[in-house]
Amino acid sequence: MGSNFNMLDGVHPSLIRLTRDVQVLSEAVRDPELSTTDRLESFEDIINLEVGDTALTRLRNLEREQGLRQLYIKYEGDNPTGTQKDRIAFAQVYDALRRGFGTIALATCGNYGVAVAFASFLAGIRCRVYIPETYHTERVREMLEYKAEVVRLPGSYEDVVIASSQEADKKGYYDANPGGSNTALQLKAYSEIAFEIYDSLRDAPKYVACPVSNGTLLAGVYRGFVNLYKRGKTSRIPHFVAGSSSYKNPVVSSFNKGLAHCADLDPAKIRETEINEPLINWHSFDGDEALYGLIQSNGAASHISDQKMKKMSSYLLKNDGIKVLPAATAGLIALLELHAKQPMEPDRFVAVVTARH
């Protein structure tokens, strides 16, 4: 790993302007005189107002260029802090509030920390965000503005996840890290993306593509579509496509090697850039879950270069007016590359795009 990494993780710091109704609801959540039931109801109202129901947008210009009709993006940049992380952040803060925790703890490289800090701020819960000491993200200012306590620790992101989970267990904090006891809750929160896609299309698309880091997002969306299929709501389960940084993600590497379990990469060979940072890991905390979804759905996975991600981000801005973080386009590019190798029959295709500029 490099000794110092200036982490411009793509989502520019911008404090959220709270509407009057959200301010009133937040005051109710914070009010210790109210019952837990009333406080939870107010926080749930905030979630319903602020999180999810993101846009499903058809990319007609890209369709014409690529010869792939009915291509949609599910634009998670519509969430309050600009990424899909708000979905699991608010779900876990709700759970922490329900279970009486006073402090929530997590490790982050940027975006997730802001999401949990913002949700905790609205709920009046103390938030401790652990960041590798060699990482420098523009989003720390937002975390601090939302009253989070930022703790710098030595080691890689994976090391900091383990250390923060250990401290949470020792001190009785709510552990919001990936791969821990709250994984099921995180997967359920991401499964809402599948339900929202179904609400718009009234069936499952042929393919769903996702950018992959820890694997939680893809695993959650896969579970959502499995749930819909088993309930008789859809006629099929989509094929899932994973896109991640070139040879720097265990999920993609393990799938392409035909492995049944997600194998760690050599940490010494991982190199971050300002573009690939949101995608890379030597260990994917929910990698087995994501790999299972890829295998069971007869899916595909691709390594995507920084250059391709940057080019696609520029294309979407120029042709569709959509501001997307380059790393967020990895799944979309992987889907298009699959089509280029073997042209797909007309159907419906969705790429989850996870963050805005």
CATH number where 335 lies: 3.40.50.1100
Q: Do 74 and 88 reside in the same domain of the chain?
A: no
Could you read off the pLDDT of 164-196 as tens digits, one per residue?
A: 999 999 999 999 998 878 899 999 999 999 999
Q: What is the mean pLDDT of the chain?
A: 92
Of 142, 175, 208, the position where a domain reaches its end is: 175
The token pair that represents 18 in the structure block: 């709270």
- Give mean pLDDT, residues 272-277: 83
Q: Do 152 and 71 reside in the same domain of the chain?
A: no
Residue 159 binned pLDDT confidence (cut-offs 50, 70, 90)? very high
**Region of 352 on the Ramachandran plot (φ > 0 left; ψ -120 to 50 alpha; else beta):** beta
Q: Do 195 and 268 reside in the same domain of the chain?
A: yes
**Which pLDDT belongs to residue 10?**
47
**Which pLDDT belongs to residue 14?**
62
Q: Do 131 and 238 reside in the same domain of the chain?
A: no
Q: Do 137 and 238 reside in the same domain of the chain?
A: no
Q: Does 270 fall in a domain?
A: yes
Of all residues in the chain, the percent with pLDDT exceeding 70 is 96
Q: Does 11 fall in a domain?
A: no
Q: Give the residue, 197 or 282, on which the prediction is more confident.
A: 197
The number of distinct structural domains making up the chain is: 2
Query: Could you list the residue range(s) of the whole structural domain that residue 164 is in?
Result: 30-47+84-175
**Which pLDDT belongs to residue 278?**
83
Could you read off the pLDDT of 10-29 as tens digits, one per residue?
A: 455 567 888 999 999 999 99
Could you read off the pLDDT of 202-215 as tens digits, one per residue?
A: 999 999 999 999 99
Supply the pTM of this predicted model.
0.93
**Which pLDDT belongs to residue 28?**
98
Q: Do 286 and 340 reside in the same domain of the chain?
A: yes
Is 83's pLDDT higher than 80?
yes
**Which pLDDT belongs to residue 242?**
98
Whole-number Å distance between alpha carbons of 170 and 197: 40
Is 69's pLDDT higher than 80?
yes
Q: Does 78 fall in a domain?
A: yes
- Give mean pLDDT, residues 249-267: 96
**Which pLDDT belongs to residue 277?**
80
Q: Do 187 and 322 reside in the same domain of the chain?
A: yes
Is 319's pLDDT higher than 50?
yes
